[in-house]
Chains A and B, each alone.
Chain A
Amino acid sequence: MKCASLGAALLLTAVAGFQPAFGQTLKTVQDRGVLSCGVSQGLPGFSAPDDKGNWTGLDVDVCRAIAAAVLNDPTKIKFVPLSAKDRFTALQSGEIDVLSRNSTWTLSRDTSLGLNYTGVTYYDGQGFMVRKALKVNSALELNSASVCVQTGTTNEQNLADYFKSNNMKYEVIAFATADETLKAYESGRCDVFTSDVSQLYAERLKLAKPDDHAVLPEVISKEPLGPVVRHGDDQWFDIVKWTLFAMINAEELAVTQKNVDEMAKSNKPELKRMFGTDGNLGEQLGLTKDWVTRIIKAVGNYGESFDRNVGAGSKLAISRGLNRLWNQGGIQYAPPIR
């Protein structure tokens, strides 16, 4: 099943002659009229289909924002659900235009995988979930435990590092998809389920009795999650990067989905630059002057998207924490639009 998509992707790389060059991705997407966006196979809060089959989530909002900026229509997206194992191959081979799928930014992914991370949508870290019945209060009490993990993630390596540096033994059972991993944990095959903390909260909701399970306090790694594009097309890299920055800047300037039309008429210089009433910043990206207006109309600013999908306004109810803006005690910070 997995090998089929992988094989197809490989064949694409080899035969179709996909050669990204400056400006080509934007042209391809606009000619096609649809943005092909790689997402998860269903991670509530980040990318998951709702009960009507519409994809929603923080990562999905990035796709919608890009589609709004590039195609002027946040619904013209083909969502491609990918497992952790297949996601980068799909991007390398050109099967998707952008990967927005809770993927950790690391050096090797930025270099030898031939990819470019465009920013951070969510500052995360890896944690552990256990059954409350085990009466474990700290990850340091997990010696000799069996741990379920999804293969092809940074979690797999962090796990090895953490247990090794704390001189603990463990048994790792690695599964191809998040669902298989969770099922094995729920059936009792493993004592511990490990992944990024945000994902732990999301996956916990899928369990039959979420309250029987607890997330341990330790966060053992840095997991900056963000959208990814492939090497070779700097214009596309800029567009994806600045779409996210526009959402973050909008929050900083208090531009929301509701007041965007009003704010667009503002005389404040930074708002004028942002909404294109002054200068041609959007055109420099290869888009139109009102690119930010379209983005904010489609998904709102970063804070709105966060609250709606993973924060206070969602079932996950994760606190903003590190993901607050830099001037509110967090580390979310976007370069200025000028």
Chain B
Amino acid sequence: MPKPKVGLYWCASCGGCEEAVVDLAEKILDVVAAVDIVFWPVALDFKKEDVEAMADGEMVAAFINGAVRLSEQEEMVNLLRRKAQYVIAFGSCAHLGGIPGLASLFDRESIFQYVYGQAPTVAPTDVRPQTQVTVPEGELKLPEFWDKVRALDQVIDVDYYLPGCPPTPKVIANALTALLEGKLPAKGAVLASSRALCYECERNATKPEKPSLTDIKRVWEVIADPDTCLLAQGIICLGPVTRGGCDAQCVKGNMPCTGCFGPLDRVHDFGAKGLSAIASLFASNDEAELEKLADKIPDVTGTFYRYSLPASFLFKSRAALKGDGQ
């Protein structure tokens, strides 16, 4: 029997998700033994033409990481959607928009104005890249830069999500096993734990019944006690609202959870939920004191929507909300 074919692709991402695949270490040999990787631009020399030549649905799965902001990315993910039976959004950027999604705070024009106009540079200023330019050697093309960053499911139909920045080897291995053994859950599932991170955190026992934030400390301001719940130490940890499955790796490294595994199943807007959870722990009922505490969080959007701005209520397209296309 021929081995099932899979493809991997990257869009607006940092390459960390590709690293995460390599981080499977010797398990990657089992993967290669079980499947044929027929497309993986970062590691293998297959081209777009090779994917185009495949029959529709020829690949069992396409693992796509990264958010979508370029016309080229949109074209590629649409192509992969046709050629793969399952599309799996791999990592925070494909899942919720990720760190590149924060660029949605600025539209294309303001980004171009800064990057090609105001930013210090030795190149001539305000020369904008063209989507098409003719040089003596022929015609050069560049992809279009869209106005906003989108998560993968805002562009194509997505079957499953592998959360994380990047997904941990354990969740990747579990997902691959489920795929190969035909034990995938219902479509649309996020392939990680369905409980909050606190449940698997070693410090959960030290979490007070009702944590209370009298002061908020940023990670560089204190050396956190390595055995006590970070919330109890006044450090904003999004463990209570974040999907588990990562084995609390950041907390084990004495850093708070920043929410890369995204929301739990019944939460629609991760940032709003995280904000709600943290704010309700503020240990004051006085308006002025509460404002002072809120001011201790210098970048509210970046704190609570670090990985999920494009998937948030305010940034999701209203058309998508009504279910009529993108």
A binds B: no
B residues contacting A by CB (< 8 A) are none
A residues contacting B by CB (< 8 A) are none
